[in-house]
Amino acid sequence: MKKNKLSYVYMKKCLNDPIFNLISSVADSRNMPAFVIGGYVRDFYLDRNSKDIDIVTLGSGIELAENVAEKLGNDVKVNVFKNFGTAMLRFGDLEIEFVGARKESYRMDSRKPIVENGTLEDDQKRRDFTINAMAFCLNKESFGQLSDPFNGISDLENKIIRTPLEPNTTFSDDPLRMMRAIRFANQLDFTIESSTFQAIKDNKDRLKIVSEERIIDEFNKILATSKPSVGIKLLSESGLLEEFFPELISLKGVDEKSGKMHKDNFYHTLEVLDNVCAQSDNLWLRWAALLHDIGKPRTKRFTDSTGWTFHGHDHLGAKMVSGIFRRLKLPMNEKMKYVEKLVQLHLRPIVLSQEVVTDSAVRRLLFDAGNEIDDLMMLCEADITSKNEKTVIKHLNNFKLVRKKLIEIEEKDAVRNFQPPVSGEQIMEFFNLKPCHQVGEIKNAIKDAILDGIIKNNYDEAFQFMLKKGEELGLNPRS
């Protein structure tokens, strides 16, 4: 944060956008005190570009929004949320929300507040963090003047997340704020002040009154940071993670038997996740990294001869994905299928790189991964977290070889988006068959022959192979 931003002149610059002058004159003409508050003010000091503007007024936020919209012109629509006493309008790329200053108290069993009109300070008090409780005045008389009753500026400078009121009050008012505290700490690289963090620990079970949608929204913001391990460790340390994501907690711990240990899969997972984040912003690839070993706790075995094994954790993990997505209200669509696929396949390139890399194994990997092959390779490289440098170098070199082969084979055989060169209809037509298992058998045999390199991926060779296979099955061509 630049110190000179504290100057009055600089604050006014933050309000340079003509929209603020317009709101200012509308508010003045109606004698309504009006302020910009919350995230927009915080982000101004942090040099973050924000398009969401929250306006608070002493009076009706809905009326102010309607008056502002009138001035802006006919095509500006106001969305009114009567129950909450708020109104929202879009102007260009700005989203502006208006609300009347409130004094709020929340019931123990719900996030829905009982609302009364209040002063600016009443409204600031009921906000989540000191850094989110600052406001700039918009009325002409004190345009640009900062109101900061809880020393948000000093917390911004010292990079601290702290609640304006006693933290138990702020969190029990709205338990989602416990997730927000950790999300902001992770996103902004701030520290959560100790009594605030203690209150999260003490109130963790209040998270159960918050909907999964809102929890996962915050969690996805943590996953979208450049180093989500920081936020996830805080979630774990505070006890919140256990409340909504027990499967991740089950990854924790190291067992030892007969002097043999396995790695702590929780911390390994976080390392893999950070590695992926250094390479890609794709949220769903990040989810795949988070869940790639999720099947390990339930497949863990020990024998004297093999030591610790997790056989089948890829398969079981992939099966767990849809249940986790459903419970967390994540999309049950192609995003979920993508994560499932990567979890299912995450061992394949590693196994491949440990063996002699045969063309047919590479072809099968390309066939199974399809368009996800590049993301899968990225995940697998991120999965090498050994502390032994020699092992890491060996694996990475083998991966280079696998990548090279993948390119060569795809150029030659085009199996990445495999389309059968002879279709089921053509097989039925040729042998005069109705749909039956023999059609599938011939189709599969052609596919396997291509993937195993017995024939090339083209119509002529596939047709000849079909003839041979039909003969083996005792089929006769249509006369």
For binding to ligand CTP (CB under 6 A), which residues are involved?
A: 38-39, 52, 54, 127-128, 132, 174, 176-177, 180
51 vs 311 by CB, closer to ligand CTP = 51
Distance CA 390, CA 163 (A): 48
| CB of 127 or CB of 469, closer to ligand CTP | 127
Q: Shortest gap between Cβ of 132 and ligand CTP (angstroms)?
A: 3
Residue with tokens 């061509």, as numbered in its chain = 477
Q: Which is nearer to ligand CTP, 132 or 353 (CB)?
A: 132
The DSSP H or E segment spanning 88 is strand 86-91
- Check: CB of residue 450 under 8 Å from CB of residue 462: yes
Q: Toward ligand CTP, which CB reaches closer, 54 or 243?
A: 54
| 162, 155 contact by CB (below 8 A) | yes
Residue among 89 and 272 whose Cβ is closer to ligand CTP: 89
Q: Which residue is nearest to ligand CTP (CB)?
A: 39
- The three-point CA angle 150-152-157 to 5° equals 140
Q: Nearest distance from residue 249's CB to ligand CTP, in Å? A: 25
Burial class (CB in 10 A: 0-12, 13-18, 19+), 57: buried
Rounded to the nearest whole angstrom, what is the least distance from the CB of residue 206 to ligand CTP in the complex? 13
Contact 366, 406 (CB under 8 A): yes
Length of the chain: 479
Q: Which of 214, 219, 167, 174 is nearest to 195 (CA)?
A: 167
Q: Shortest approach of ligand CTP to residue 176 CB, angstroms? A: 5
Q: Which amino acid is at 255?
A: D
Identify which of residues 52 and 460 has a Cβ nearer to ligand CTP in the complex. Answer: 52
Residue ranges of E strands in 101-249: 102-106, 113-117, 135-137, 146-147, 160-161, 191-192
- Closest distance to ligand CTP from the beta carbon of 99 (Å): 9
Least distance between ligand CTP and beta carbon 38 (Å):
3
Q: How far is CA 179 from CA 26, 226, 326, 382, in A?
A: 37, 18, 20, 27
Q: Least distance from C-beta 411 to ligand CTP, angstroms?
A: 45
Query: Is the dihedral angle over the CA atoms 447, 451, 454, 457 positive or is it negative?
Result: positive
Distance CA 15, CA 143 (A): 9
What's the closest the beta carbon of residue 267 comes to ligand CTP, in angstroms? 28
Pick the closer one to ligand CTP by CB: 148 or 340: 148
Nearest to ligand CTP of 54, 372 (CB atom)? 54
Residue 352 in contact with residue 365, Cβ under 8 Å?
A: yes
Phi-psi region of 221 (alpha: psi -120 to 50; beta: other; left: phi over 0): alpha
The tokens describing 424, both together, are 């089921």
Report whether 206 contacts 171 (CB < 8 A).
yes
Residue 414 Cβ vs ligand CTP, minimum distance, rounded to whole Å: 44
CB of 165 to ligand CTP, least distance (A): 11
Q: Which is nearer to ligand CTP, 185 or 427 (CB)?
A: 185
**Measured distance CA(301)–CA(316) in Å, rounded:** 14
Residue whose CB is less far from ligand CTP, 39 or 239: 39
